[in-house]
């Protein structure tokens, strides 16, 4: 029989319960400190979203906006002037934004989008064997001239509503002109560049 001087025996379950309570209390305390830190830092450091992204990821859709024309270029250069200043090598580099969906070599296979060999001057929806949208089929009598291609590359959704092309577009007019000149070179019969207006702003 235990006397008043004997120590009270502690069961193993009581030790486990004590340890669990201690660890649980430490975990909750850590969570409270973390939440308080997040609230304070969120209040002190509020990031501001830039009006224009620092870079654009190719193939990722952006909110539709009005197609930019040559007048949107710095200096308000018309498309004919931009084409005269265009560099096919830069256009080939710009085509990397298109290469995920399109091939460009002669006789190339269709991908998500049609093969683009000889696209400049060709009719809309001209590539045999590709399933074009009804919106493009409706324009099969119209050619892909410089202005139409420029508007299409700037913003496909706005240029021909209802088409299936999921591409944000290229906003910089000179980059589009470079791309157009490169596309034109990938053809059996490249079109001549349109002549610049009689009076044009200085390049």
Domain locations along the chain:
15-44, 70-185
Name which CATH class applies to 70-185: mainly alpha
Quick: pLDDT tens for 73-119. 445 789 999 999 999 999 999 999 999 999 999 999 999 999 999 99
Give the H or E element holding residue 84. helix 79-84
Q: Are 146 and 154 in contact (CB under 8 A)?
A: no
- DSSP single-letter state for residue 96: G
pTM across the whole model: 0.61
pLDDT, tens only, 189-198 = 999 999 988 7
- Specify the DSSP class assigned to residue 165: -
Q: Do 153 and 179 form a contact (C-beta atoms < 8 A)?
A: yes
Residue 13, pLDDT score: 56
- Asked whether residue 62 carries a pLDDT value surpassing 80, the answer given is no
Least Cα distance to 165 among 132, 122, 197 occurs for: 132
Q: Specify the pLDDT at position 109.
A: 94
């Amino acid at each position: 029989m235990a006397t008043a001087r004997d120590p009270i025996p502690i069961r193993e379950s009581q030790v486990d319960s004590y340890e669990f309570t201690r660890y649980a209390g430490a975990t909750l305390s850590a969570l409270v400190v973390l939440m308080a830190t997040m609230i304070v830092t969120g209040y002190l450091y509020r990031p501001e979203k830039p009006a224009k992204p620092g870079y654009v990821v190719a193939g990722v859709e952006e909110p539709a906006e009005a197609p930019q024309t040559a007048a949107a270029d710095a200096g308000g250069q018309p498309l004919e002037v931009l084409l005269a200043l265009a560099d096919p090598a830069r256009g080939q580099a710009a085509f990397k934004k298109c290469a995920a969906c399109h091939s460009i070599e002669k006789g190339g296979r269709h991908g998500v989008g049609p093969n683009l060999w000889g696209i400049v001057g060709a009719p809309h929806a001209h590539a045999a064997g590709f399933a074009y949208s009804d919106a493009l089929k409706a324009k099969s009598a119209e050619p892909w001239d410089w202005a139409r291609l420029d508007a299409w590359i700037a913003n496909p959704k706005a240029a021909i509503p209802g088409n299936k092309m999921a591409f944000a577009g290229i906003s910089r007019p000179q980059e589009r002109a470079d791309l157009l000149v490169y596309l034109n070179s990938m053809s059996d019969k490249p079109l001549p560049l349109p002549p610049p207006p009689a009076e044009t702003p200085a390049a």
